[in-house]
Amino acid sequence: MEADELLFAERTFDAGRLFGRAAPLEIEIGTGKARFLVAAARANPAHDFLGLERSLSYYRICRQRVARAGLANARVLRADGRLFLESLPPASVRAFHVYFPDPWPKKKQRKRRFLDAVALELLASRLEPGGTLRIATDHPSYGRAIRSHLESVETLERFSWEAQPPPPPTNYEVKYAAQGRPIWRFLCVKRETGNGKRP
C-alpha cells in the first residue's frame, strides 16, 4: 500500500499547503469515480476542489483520473468523511457536495449513514457564511431522513435545487436519470448571521 493510500489522520487540514495557494475550497464527500470532481474543477479554475473517498478501490480510480486530468485545482484524499470534517477549521469551506451516499437501507444499518443530524451540524459549522451544501440521493427513506434532519439545523437555509446553476452530474446521477429513478435533491446555504436567524 502506498503512503497516500492510508486514511487521512492529521488533526488539522491545511488546504493552502495541499493546493499551494489560497482559493475558495469546495469538497466532495464520496467521490466515486471522480466524474463530478474533474468536471467541476475544470469549469471553475478559481476554486480548489477536494474529493474524499474512503473506499481504497474507488480512491485508486479517483487518483488516476484526477492525475490524468492534470488540473492544478483538483485533489483527492483517502479519508473518512466525518473524521475529516473534524480536521477542518470552522467556516473554511465554500461548498460541500454529497452525492448519492451509501443509503444503508436496512433498518439495523441506518446508524451507519453519513448524513445524520450530527454530520449536518458539523458540515454547517465548516461552511463559510453564504457557503453552500448540496446533497442528492435516490433512496426515498434516506431523502426523507435528510429533509427532517435539515429542518433542525438553524444555520442552514433551504432553497430549490434550481436556485443556483446545477453542478456537473456524477456517474450515479447519469445512471439513475437514464433509469427514470426519482432523485431527492437538497440545496442549502449557510446563513450570514452568527445566531442562525435571519437579520
Q: Which residues are catalytic?
A: 102
The answer to whether the CB of 90 falls within 8 A of the CB of 22 is: no
Q: Is 160 helix (H, G, I), strand (E, B) or coil?
A: coil
Helices 35-43 and 56-69, interaxial angle, to 10°? 30
93 Cβ contact partners less than 8 Å away, ≥ 6 residues apart: 25, 26, 27, 126, 127, 128, 131
Closest CA to 135 of 65, 181, 187, 69: 187
Distances (CA, A) of 52 to 20, 49, 95, 109, 179: 18, 10, 14, 22, 27
178 Cβ contact partners less than 8 Å away, ≥ 6 residues apart: none
